[in-house]
Structure 1
Amino acid sequence: MTYRPAPLLSRSPLAVHDTVTAADFPQATLRYRNDRAAQSVGLDDLSDADWIRHFGRFVPLPDNQPVPLALRYHGHQFRHYNPDLGDGRGFLFAQMYDDKGRLLDLGTKGSGKTPYSRGGDGRLTLKGGVREVLATAMLEALGVPTSKSFSLIETGERLVRGDEPSPTRSSVLVRLSHSHIRFGTFERLAYLNDVATMRDLVAFLIANYYPACTNAEDVFDAVVSATATLAARWMTAGFVHGVLNTDNMNVTGESFDYGPYRFLPHYDPAFTAAYFDETGLYAYGRQPDAVLWNLGQLGRCLTLIGDQAALVASFNAFSERYDRELQLAVCARLNVVPTADDGALVRTLYDLLADLHGDGSFEGLFYDWFGGTAAEPRALSSPRGHTYTGGAFAAFHDCLNTYTTAAPARIDHPRFAEAEPETLLYDEIEAIWAQIAFEDDWSLFHAKLDRIETYRQALAL
C-alpha cells in the first residue's frame, strides 16, 4: 500500500476545530507499533526513529496536516448536557486513505493540553494506553467495528490520578479510525444554532464517508444502520463500553475511546464497567437502549436542516435493524449460515447463557460451538462440556442443529485444539499491568497481543 495523504478536514472551511500544539515530552520510548494497521495506510516502512518523530514528537507526516487540530464538540454525559467539552487531551494529527480507499484519521490521546482541557493535564497514563491497545486488539478479533491502536509511546512523566496509585507512568496513544466526528459535534452546532456549518458538515460526510447519500436524512439513516451494527457486535462480544456518552460515539459507527471498559466473565445484563455508573445506565444489557437514546440526540440536531418525519422514521427503524444485526452477529460468532430469520437462535443462545450464568464463561459458549453442531465433539469434551445439559441447552442445540457451518475449514484451525478461548478479563489486564508497573516487564503484554492475533486469524470475523 502506498501512503496517500488526505488532510481534508484541515483544508475544509468547516469551523469544527482549533489548531493546537503537541506537548513536549521528556522522553519517548516506543512500547507498541501496529505494523498491520500501518501497512493498510502505507506507513509500515517507517523506522522506529521516524515512528517516534511522528507519533511521539508529532512532526507532521509528509504532505499532511501542518498542525494538529483539536475537535470541537459538546455532549450528553450520563444524559446531562455538557457544553464544555471538546478534545481535551487529544487531537487529529493526520488523515489519509487506506488500502480500501477509505478516508481514515490518525487521532491522539494524551498528547497535551488544548483549549478544552478544563483544568486537566492533557495526559494519558501508561496503564490507560496499555488497556486501550489490548481492548482494540480483542474487539477487532471478535468482529467489532473499532478504532485500531496504532502507536503507544511512553513519555517519561509522573502523573497524579485519583483512581489509581499515583504518581504513575505516562504515555501518548495514536489511534487509526474511520472518523472522529462525533454525535457531539452536531450537538454543539445545534446548541449554537449554526445551521450553515451543520449543512457544510453533512456535505463533508456525504463526500467522504457516505457517497450514496444525498441529504441529512440519508446520512442519519446510514448512521442509524452503522450504529445498530456496532451495538449488536458489542453484545455478541460480551463487551461493556462503560461510558456511552454522545461525545463517545462517532458518525461512522466505530467503537473508540476506551476508558473503564470490561468484557463479561459470564452473562449478566446488569454488569457495569464504570465504578461511577451507580444506576447502571450503561450496563451490558442496557447498551442498545443507550445507543438509541444517543441517536435520538443526533436526530434532534439534524431537524434543523432535515425533514423531521424522515428522521423519526429512521430513528424508529433502529430496533428492527439492531435485532437483525444481532442475529447476523450471533451467526457470525457461531460460524453458521444465517437464514431469513434467526430470532430463535438468538433467543435460545441467550437463554442458555442466562442458564449457565457463573458455571460457564460468556466467550466459552461461542468458542465451543464455533462451527455449529459440527463442533459438537469438541464442545462436549471442553471444560464446559458438563454444563451443556438441561432444557435451555436442549432448545439451543435443537435450533443450532437446523444450521449449516458457514466456513468448515475454520474449525480446523490449530487454535481450536486448545481447550480455552482467548479472553480479556479484568484480572488478566491487571496481571499484565502489574508486570509492567513493578518490573518493567512487557513480555506478558506482547504475548497477550500475539495470542489475540492468533485468535483473530482463527475466527476470521
Structure 2
Amino acid sequence: MPLSATYRPDPVFMRLGAEFADPVAPAPFPQTRLRFRNDRAAASVGLEDLTEAEWLAHFARFAPLPDNQPGPLAMRYHGHQFRSYNPDLGDGRGFLFAQLREAGSGRLLDLATKGSGQTPWSRAGDGRLTLKGGVREILAAAMLEALGVPTSRAFSLVETGEALVRGDEPSPTRSAVLTRLSHSHIRFGTFQRQAFLERRDNITVLVDHAVETYFPQVADQPDRPKVLLEQAVAASARLLARWMAAGFVHGVLNTDNMVVTGESFDYGPWRFLPRNDPNFTAAYFDHSGLYSFGRQPEAVFWNLQQLAGCLALVTDDAGLIAALNSFSGLYRDALRAAMLDRLGLTSRSADDDIDLVQAAFTALAAGGESLRWEPFFFDWFGGEASQARALAGPRADLYGQEAFLDFRRRLSAFEPKRPERLESPVFNGLEPEELLIDEVEALWAPIAQADDWAPLEGKLARIEAARVAYALGD
C-alpha cells in the first residue's frame, strides 16, 4: 500500500475506552462505486497515493488504515435537539474510522463516516445516506472552505447500490457512504451524556483528553474545565462569525452538532442566504425559526451554556460564568475580522472597522430583493481597488443609490489586503460563485436522471478556483 511520508497515524480517541464509543462493523454494501475523491485533502494526511482499489478498500469497505484504529467506533453522545433533550442519540449512521496528523500543522484530524450502516444508536434508522445527501455535503463543505469558514471537508463519496426510501426525497433513491475529514468529533453532547449519567469521573477524563489533544497550549493551567470552556467559547465565536459573514444557515444547531474545536460539520438542511434576511431558515421543519440566520448567535450561545452546565459538575461556577460572559465581545471582534476578510481589506482601527462593518450590513439590508448576498462581497472585494469593477457591473445602478454612499465613503479609507488577489481571472467575471438551493437542485438533476456528473464536477472546479482566488484561509 503506497503511503506518503506525511502519513502519521495517531488513534488517540480509542484510548478513552468503552464508556465513550462502541466497536461496530461497516455495512456490507452491494456496490462500491467511487463518485468523489478529495485528493487535496488526502495529500494533507498522506493518503494521496492510494490506488482506486485501495481507496475503495478503506473508504467503502473500511479496512483499517495501517497502524490506526483496528476497527470503527460509533461514538456515544446525547444532545438537545431544538431545545429538547434526547438521551437516545449517538453515532446512528456513522463512526470514527481513523485519526491522523495533518502534514505541516500537526493537527489531529478525524476520518469519520456518514451512511456506513447501523450501530447500537441507530434506533429505527437504516444507517444509510442518500446519494443526494452526500452530494449536498460535498457542495456545502467546498463552498464554506472557499469562503474561509472552519469546516470539515468531504473526503470520499462512494455509491453503494441500495434503494432507500425517504420522506423528504423522491423514493426509492440512491444510496452512498460519505467519509469526512475534520478536526475533532468531541461534541457538546459528548459531555452531556456523561453529565446525564452523573459520571463526574468521565467528564474529567473527557476534559483532560480534549485539552491535551486539541488545546495543549493551555494544558498546564490548573483549572482545565474552565480553560476548555474558554477555548470552546472562542472557537465557537469565530465559527459563528464566519457563518454570518458567509451568509450561511446551518439549519440544525443542536448540541450534538457542535464540537469543542469550533468547526462546522454534518450538513443536512443547510442553505446560503439568497439575500439579507435575518428570518431566513434552512430546515423545512424549523417552524418557529429557532435556527434562522439571525438567531444563530443566540443558538450558539445557548449551546455553550449547556456545555458549561456539564463542566459545572467538575469545577467552580465563577470561571465558567466568566468564560460565557466573554462570548459577546469575542463574537463581535470575530465578526469584524470575518467581514474585513470577506471584503479583502486590512484592518485600520477598532472604531473604523466597526463603522465599516455596520455600513456593510446597512447596505446589504438596503439592497433588499435587488441585492444578493454573495455578489455584494464579490463586487467590493479589495475595497476601493474594485470600485471601477463594481460600478461597471450588473449592480452599478444599485451602488449609486444613497443607501450605499456611506458604505463606499468608509470603504475608501481602507487598504486592500494582498491586492494581488484581484489579478485572478475569477474577478474578470460579472458574477461570483454562489450556492443557492435552486442551483443545488439543478446540479443533482442530471445525476438523478442520466448519471451525468459533469455539471457537479464543473461546479466544484469553479468553487475551487474561487477558493484559490479569495485565499481567505491563508
* TM-score by shorter chain over 0.5: yes
1:56-455 → structure 2 map (5 Å cutoff): 56-99=60-103, 100-213=105-218, 214=221, 215-341=224-350, 342-455=353-466
**C-alpha distance in 1 between matches for 2:396 and 2:90:** 49
Unpaired segments ≥5 residues, structure 2: none
In the TM superposition, what is the alpha-carbon distance from 1:392 to its structure 2 partner? 2.3
Q: Structure 2: which amino acid aligns with 1:326?
A: L
Identity %: 59
C-alpha distance in 2, partners of 1:97/1:450? 27
Deviation at 1:14, TM superposition (A): 6.3
Q: Which residue of 1 aligns with 2:33?
A: 29
Q: Distance in 1 between matches of 2:321 and 2:310?
A: 12
C-alpha separation in 2, matches of 1:122 and 1:297 = 28
In 2, distance between residues paired with 1:154 and 1:311? 45
Report deviation, 1:389: 2.5
1:458 aligns with 2:463: no
Partners of 1:11 and 1:276 lie apart in 2 by: 38
Partner of 2:19: 15
Following the alignment from structure 1 to structure 2, what is the Cα–Cα distance between the partners of residues 242 and 395? 33
Counterpart Cα distance in 1 of 2:322 and 2:149: 26
Segment drifting more, 141-150 vs 302-311 = 302-311
Deviations 1:205-239 (A, max 9, x none): 12110012231101110110000000000001110
Q: In 2, are the aligned partners of 1:124 and 1:171 still within 8 Å (CA)?
A: yes
Deviations 1:169-210 (A, max 9, x none): 000000000101100001111101111111111111121100
Alpha-carbon distance between aligned partners in 2 of 1:312 and 1:399, rounded to the nearest angstrom: 37
Structure 1, 118-127 or 5-14: larger mean CA deviation: 5-14
TM superposition score normalised by structure 1: 0.99
Structure 2 CA distance for aligned equivalents of residues 158 and 410 of structure 1: 46
SS at match of 1:157: strand
Query: What is the DSSP-based 3-state SS (H/G/I as helix, E as strand, rest coil) of the residue aligned with 2:463?
Result: helix
Q: What's 1:51 paired with?
A: 55
- Shift in Å at residue 340 of structure 1? 3.0
Cα distance between partner residues in 2 of 1:360 and 1:382: 13
Letter in 1 for 2:466: Y
Q: Distance in 2 between matches of 1:117 and 1:85?
A: 8
**CA–CA separation in structure 1 for the residues paired with 2:22 and 2:424:** 49
- Deviating more after overlay: 334-343 vs 247-256: 334-343
Within 2, Cα distance between the matches of 1:120 and 1:148? 25
Query: 2: CA distance between counterparts of 1:391 and 1:295?
Result: 40
Partners of 1:407 and 1:75 in 2: CA distance: 42
Shift of 1:338: 1.2
Give the whole-Å Cα distance in 1 for the aligned partners of 2:307 and 2:400: 45
Distance 1:260 1:385 in 2: 33
Q: Distance in 2 between matches of 1:439 and 1:50?
A: 28
1:72–1:87: 8 Å Cα contact kept in structure 2? Answer: yes
Listed one character per residue, the Cα deviations across residues 40-91 of structure 1 (whole Å, up to 9, x for unaligned) are 0000000011000000001110111111000000000000111110000000
Instruction: List alignment gaps of at least 5 residues for structure 1.
Output: none
Secondary structure of the structure 1 residue equivalent to 2:268: coil
What is the distance in 2 between the residues matched to 1:391 and 1:431? 36
Contact map agreement 1:14 1:197 (CA 8 A) in 2: no
**Is the contact between residue 14 and residue 200 of structure 1 (CA under 8 Å) also seen in structure 2?**
no
TM-score of the aligned structures, taking structure 2 as reference length: 0.96
Count of aligned positions: 461
Which secondary structure does the structure 1 equivalent of 2:63 belong to?
Answer: coil
Tell me, in whole angstroms, the C-alpha distance in 2 between the residues paired with 1:309 and 1:254.
Answer: 27
